[in-house]
Structure 1
Amino acid sequence: KLNYHPNLLASNFRRQKTHTIGLIIPDVTNPFFTTIARGVEDQARKKQFKVFVCSTDEDADIEKEYIDDLIQRRVEGFVIAPSTGGGKYLFDLQDDKIKFVVVDREVKNLKADIVHSDNVDGAYRLTNYLIKLGHRRIAIINGAMQTSVAIQRFTGYEKALLESNVPIVDALVKGNDWRMESSYKHTMELLTSKFSPTAIFAANNILGVGVLRALRETGLKVPTDMSVVCFDDVPVASLMYPFLTVVVQSPYTMGKLATQILLEKRSGQGLTERQDIVLKPNFIIRESCRPLRNSGETHILSGMEDKQQK
C-alpha cells in the first residue's frame, strides 16, 4: 500500500486543482522515454498544466516513493510507464479513483487506460525480414521478461521463427534487463558460443548500443560479419554507417495521447470506457543486414539489395 491515509488524502487529491500532473518513467537516460516526456509536457502545456518528471531507474520501490510523494504534492493525475516488476501500486491508485494513464508497458490484470505499441507485430516483422534473407541462427537480446514489452517482443520473434519452421535455440535467446552493459555481455557470449548467430535482434535502442559496441570491439563488421536489427532507433542510427534496420515507435505521440486522455478524464470530458490505444511501429530497412547464400552460415559479400531508407 502507498504511504498515505487513503480516505482523507485521496479525497483532497480529487478536489485539489493544482494544474500539475506526474510523469513516472523507468529510465530518463533512454531517448525513448525522454521523447515520451516531451510529448507529455507539450500536451500538458497546451492546457496550462505543469509536469513533475520522475525516473525510477527500473526500481519498483522508487516508483512507489514517487507516487506517494506526488500524491502529497496534489498532482491531478499521472502518466506512468511502469518499472520492471513495478505497477502493483497502480491498483491502489485505481481503488482510490485517482486518475492515471499507463504508457508503453502493460500491467497484468490492470484495467486502465493505456497507450502502447504493437510490440508483437514489430518484432515479428524484424525477425521475418531476417528469415527472408536466409538467416536461421537469429539471436534475440531481450530486456526484463517481467515487462510486457519484453514478453511481447519475444512473442513476435518466436512467431516468425515458428511460421518458417526455424528452430528456437535456447542458446540464442539472451537478456534479463534493459541495460547496455548486459547487452554487451550477452553479445560477447554469443560470439564465443558454438551456436554463434548470423544475425542479432536487439529488443530496444539501449540494448542495440551494447550489441554494436561488442561487435566493434571484436572487429566484426555490420553487415559483412553480422546482421543487426533493432526495435527502436538507436541514437544517431540514421546517421551512422552502416545504417541500421529498425522498427520505430512513436513515443512523442504516446506521450501526447496519454496526456490528452488523462486531462480529458480529469475534466469529465473524456470517454467513460477504458481506452486501449495501440500504435503500429514503422519498419525501416537500411543497410545493417545481408542475405545469406543459403541456409548455412556464409554471408554474401555483395551489397544489400533492399533500397536504403533514411
Structure 2
Amino acid sequence: MASIKDVAAAAGVSVATVSRVLNDHPSVSADARTRVMTAVAALGYRPNAVARSLRTDQTRTLGLVISDVLNPYFTELARSVEEEARALGYSVIIGNADERPDLQDHHVRTLLDRRIDGLLVSPTDGGSPLMLDAARAGTPMVFVDRWIRGVDVPVVRADGQGAVRELVAHLHRLGHRRLAIIAGPAATTTGSERVEAFRAALAEYGLALPDAYTGQGDFQADSGRRVTEGFLDLPEPPEVIFAADNLMALGALDAIRARRLRVPDDVALAAFDDIPWFPHTDPPITAIAQPTGELGRAAVRALVDRIEGRTPTSVTLPARLVVRRSCGESSLAPTRSPQSCPTQAPVQPVPTQSPVQRSTS
C-alpha cells in the first residue's frame, strides 16, 4: 500500500506539500496540486482517516441516536439518514436507545467521545441534561421526529396535528362517536402532541375524550395489547381505537383478534405511522403516514449546514391520512401509502413555525 512519502516522491514535492493538498490548503500552487493528485490516483493512495481527522479536527462522521431500531419507522429513518450523509461525504454511526433515556445518553456520550462532527437525535424523553449541555457547548446537533423543549437546536419533524385532525374528521363522517386513543409516553413530544391533537379534534365535533378512553402506552406492541384489553373490558367499549404509533397498533390488533372480535365490524382501528405491511393486513389498516425518507434527508442537510458554517433552520413537513378499510370504509376507495408507491413527488415544507428555533451559536 502506497504511503504519503511515496506520493511525495512521485510528485516531486515534500510530504508537507502533499499533506496541504490533501487538506485543501490554499497556499499550494496549481501545478503542485495537479502533480500530487496525479500521483495519488496513479498509486491508489488513501489517506489515513484517523490521522487526517487529528490534523483537520474533522472526522466526516455523524452520530445518529434513534429511539427504537425495531420500529419500522425508525429503521426507514436511519436508512435515509445514512444515504443522504453518504451522498454529502459523511459516514454515520448509529446508536439504538430502545426507548430508554439512560441508553440514549450512553450513546450520545460515546459518540461525542469519538469526536463525531455532528449529532442527530430522536429523543426518548424530554429532559436530558447531557443533550442540554452539549447544545450549550456548541455541539452541532439536530433533533429529528421528536425534540426536547428548551434545547435550542433545529428540529426536523412532521406535522402530526393536522393529520390527526383529518383522521378524526374522517371517523366522524363514518358515523363513529366513541373514539379512544392509545397514547405514547407523555415525556416525549410526539406522545403528548398526538393525544392533545386527538382531544382537540374531538372537541371540534362536540365529542369528549373520557379518561376511560385514554390509555397510556410506551410505543411498544405489548402496551398496545394491554391498553386495548382494558378498552374491550369496559361496559361500553369504544367504537374506534386510535394507536399513536405503529407497534402499539399491532399490539391492539393482537388483542382484538385474541377476543375473536373483528375489525372493523366489532371495533375499528387506526394508527399513526404507516408501515409497509399495513396494506396487507386483513383488513388493511387506515393510518397516518409521515414522509419518513424526506425527514431523514432534511435532518442530515440541516446538520451538515451547521457543521460547515451555514445557517440551519427547523423544518416541518406534512403528514397525510391513508384511508384503507379498518374503520368501516368499505364504500370508500382506498388511497395508497407513500411506502407502497413506486414514485413519490418531493415533499414540500408546510408554512408553520417549528416549536424550537434554530441555534444561533
Taking structure 1 as the reference length, the TM-score comes to 0.87
Map 1:1-310 → 2, pairs under 5 A: 16-268=57-309, 270-271=310-311, 275-290=313-328, 304-310=330-336
C-alpha contact 1:13 1:71 (8 A) present in aligned 2: no
Cα deviation for residue 249 of structure 1 reads: 0.3
What is the root-mean-square deviation in Å for CA atoms of aligned residues?
1.8
Is the radius of gyration larger for structure 1 or structure 2? 2
Question: Deviations for 1:75-124, whole angstroms, at most 9, x for unmatched residues?
Answer: 10001101134543221111111101100012111221010011111222
Cα deviation for residue 71 of structure 1 reads: 1.3
- Supply the AA of the counterpart residue of 1:175: Q
Cα deviation for residue 187 of structure 1 reads: 0.4
Cα deviation for residue 195 of structure 1 reads: 3.1
- Supply the AA of the counterpart residue of 1:161: L
Structure 2 gaps of 5+ residues are 1-52, 337-361
Q: Which moved more, 1:98-107 or 1:124-133?
A: 124-133
**Alpha-carbon distance between aligned partners in 2 of 1:35 and 1:53, rounded to the nearest angstrom:** 13
Assess, with a 3 A threshold, how the Cα gap between structure 1 residues 91 and 85 changes in structure 2: closer, same or farther: closer
Cα deviation for residue 13 of structure 1 reads: 9.7
- Supply the AA of the counterpart residue of 2:284: F
Question: Deviations for 1:1-26, whole angstroms, at most 9, x for unmatched residues?
Answer: xxxxxxxxxxx999621111100011
- Supply the AA of the counterpart residue of 1:281: A
**Alpha-carbon distance between aligned partners in 2 of 1:140 and 1:239, rounded to the nearest angstrom:** 23
Cα deviation for residue 128 of structure 1 reads: 2.2
- Supply the AA of the counterpart residue of 2:334: Q
Question: Deviations for 1:270-304, whole angstroms, at most 9, x for unmatched residues?
Answer: 32xx62211111211111112xxxxxxxxxxxx72
**Alpha-carbon distance between aligned partners in 1 of 2:159 and 2:313, rounded to the nearest angstrom:** 15
Structure 2 counterpart of 1:297? none
Cα deviation for residue 226 of structure 1 reads: 1.2
C-alpha contact 2:126 2:147 (8 A) present in aligned 1: no
Question: Deviations for 1:208-236, whole angstroms, at most 9, x for unmatched residues?
Answer: 10111111111111111111111111450
Assess, with a 3 A threshold, how the Cα gap between structure 1 residues 255 and 87 changes in structure 2: closer, same or farther: farther
Cα deviation for residue 70 of structure 1 reads: 1.0
C-alpha contact 1:248 1:282 (8 A) present in aligned 2: yes
Matched residue of 1:256: which SS? helix
| Larger fraction in helix | 2
**Alpha-carbon distance between aligned partners in 2 of 1:87 and 1:174, rounded to the nearest angstrom:** 25
- Supply the AA of the counterpart residue of 1:113: P
- Supply the AA of the counterpart residue of 1:92: D
Cα deviation for residue 191 of structure 1 reads: 0.5
Question: Deviations for 1:161-187, whole angstroms, at most 9, x for unmatched residues?
Answer: 111111221100001411110110110
Matched residue of 2:236: which SS? coil
Structure 1 counterpart of 2:349? none
**Alpha-carbon distance between aligned partners in 1 of 2:308 and 2:202, rounded to the nearest angstrom:** 47
**Alpha-carbon distance between aligned partners in 2 of 1:219 and 1:234, rounded to the nearest angstrom:** 24
Assess, with a 3 A threshold, how the Cα gap between structure 1 residues 98 and 188 changes in structure 2: closer, same or farther: same
C-alpha contact 1:172 1:195 (8 A) present in aligned 2: no
Q: Which moved more, 1:128-137 or 1:206-215?
A: 128-137
C-alpha contact 1:184 1:214 (8 A) present in aligned 2: yes
Cα deviation for residue 147 of structure 1 reads: 0.7
**Alpha-carbon distance between aligned partners in 1 of 2:126 and 2:178, rounded to the nearest angstrom:** 30
Taking structure 2 as the reference length, the TM-score comes to 0.75
**Alpha-carbon distance between aligned partners in 2 of 1:220 and 1:130, rounded to the nearest angstrom:** 20
Q: Which moved more, 1:134-143 or 1:232-241?
A: 232-241
**Alpha-carbon distance between aligned partners in 2 of 1:206 and 1:75, rounded to the nearest angstrom:** 31
- Supply the AA of the counterpart residue of 1:283: L
Structure 1 gaps of 5+ residues are 1-11, 291-302
**Alpha-carbon distance between aligned partners in 2 of 1:14 and 1:243, rounded to the nearest angstrom:** 55
C-alpha contact 2:62 2:116 (8 A) present in aligned 1: yes
C-alpha contact 1:208 1:234 (8 A) present in aligned 2: no
Matched residue of 1:238: which SS? helix
**Alpha-carbon distance between aligned partners in 1 of 2:216 and 2:118, rounded to the nearest angstrom:** 34
